[in-house]
Amino acid sequence: MAILVDKNTRVVVQGITGKTGAFHSEISIKLGTNVVAGVSPGKGGQQFLNVPVFDTVERAVKQAGPIGASVIFVPAPGAFEAIAEAAESGIKLIVVITEGLPVADMVKAKKMLAGRDIALVGPNCPGILVPGQCRLGIIPGTLTPPGPIGVVSRSGTLTYEAAHQIAQAGLGISTVVGIGGDPVIGTDFIRVLSLFDQDPQTEAVLMIGEIGGPMEEEAAIFWKERLKKTKPLYAFIAGQTAPPGKRMGHAGALIEGKRDSAAAKIEALKSHGVAVIDALTAMGRVVQTSSQTSLKA
User: Mean pLDDT of all residues in the chain?
Assistant: 91
Do 67 and 208 belong together in one domain? Answer: no
Average of per-residue pLDDT across 123-131: 97
Q: What is the pTM of this model?
A: 0.92
CA 172 to each of CA 37, 142, 265, 275: distance values in angstroms, whole numbers, following the listed order: 30, 12, 27, 19
Do 101 and 148 belong together in one domain? Answer: no
Do 28 and 54 belong together in one domain? Answer: yes
Do 119 and 183 belong together in one domain? Answer: no
Do 186 and 296 belong together in one domain? Answer: yes
Q: 198 exposed, middle or buried (CB, 10 Å; 0-12, 13-18, 19+)? A: exposed
Q: Containing domain of residue 103, as a range? A: 1-124
Residues labelled as active-site residues? 250
* Residue 133 covered by a domain: no
Tell me, what's the pLDDT at 76? 98
pLDDT, one tens digit per residue, over 11-67 is 999 999 999 999 999 999 999 999 999 999 999 999 999 999 999 999 999 999 999
Do 255 and 146 belong together in one domain? Answer: yes
* Residue 132 covered by a domain: no
Do 184 and 217 belong together in one domain? Answer: yes
Tell me, what's the pLDDT at 237? 94
Do 118 and 168 belong together in one domain? Answer: no
Q: What are phi and psi of 243, to 5 degrees?
A: -80, 150
pLDDT, one tens digit per residue, over 178-230 is 999 999 999 999 999 999 999 999 999 999 999 888 899 999 999 888 876 67
Count of domains in the chain? Answer: 2
pLDDT, one tens digit per residue, over 18-27 is 999 999 999 9
Do 55 and 153 belong together in one domain? Answer: no
The CATH number covering residue 199 comes to: 3.40.50.261
Tell me, what's the pLDDT at 296? 47
pLDDT, one tens digit per residue, over 134-176 is 999 999 988 789 999 999 999 999 999 999 999 999 999 999 9
